[in-house]
Amino acid sequence: QVQLVESGGGLVRSGGSLRLSCVASGLALNMYSITWFRQAPGKEREFIAAIRGRDSATDYLESVRGRFTISRGGDPNTVYLQMSSLKPEDTAVYYCAARMGVVRSPMAYDYWGQGTQVTVSS
């Protein structure tokens, strides 16, 4: 019923840019917040950025603030993560997730996509 599908990952060099997309179905995005997480090998899943359903307020991990931008697309079922000035430490699988309201813990999220790999070479 509920599906989240990420796309846009790839291999880029340090300093490059990527735009990730999260396409949701079965959710009313005016009610659900959409959050991007990432998980690098051997590390816990980490909050990156979120956009709140009711007013599109945003929240960012400090290490990506100013480099990454989360936004809703013109098609209302899509959320983007524009990533610039990418660093090797940004390498991870990036996931989008949905819940009612924004929290930073991945344990609190109800729905997840399958992830898209972002690899940043030095």
Average pLDDT score over the chain: 94
In which band, very low, low, confident or very high, does the pLDDT at 15 lie, cut at 50, 70 and 90?
very high
pLDDT (average), residues 60-82: 93
User: In this predicted structure, what is the pLDDT of residue 8?
Assistant: 98
Element containing residue 4 per DSSP (H, E): strand 3-7
User: In this predicted structure, what is the pLDDT of residue 27?
Assistant: 83
* Location of structure tokens 């991990």: 61
Q: What are phi and psi of 109, to 5 degrees?
A: -95, 140
CA distance 19 to 97: 17
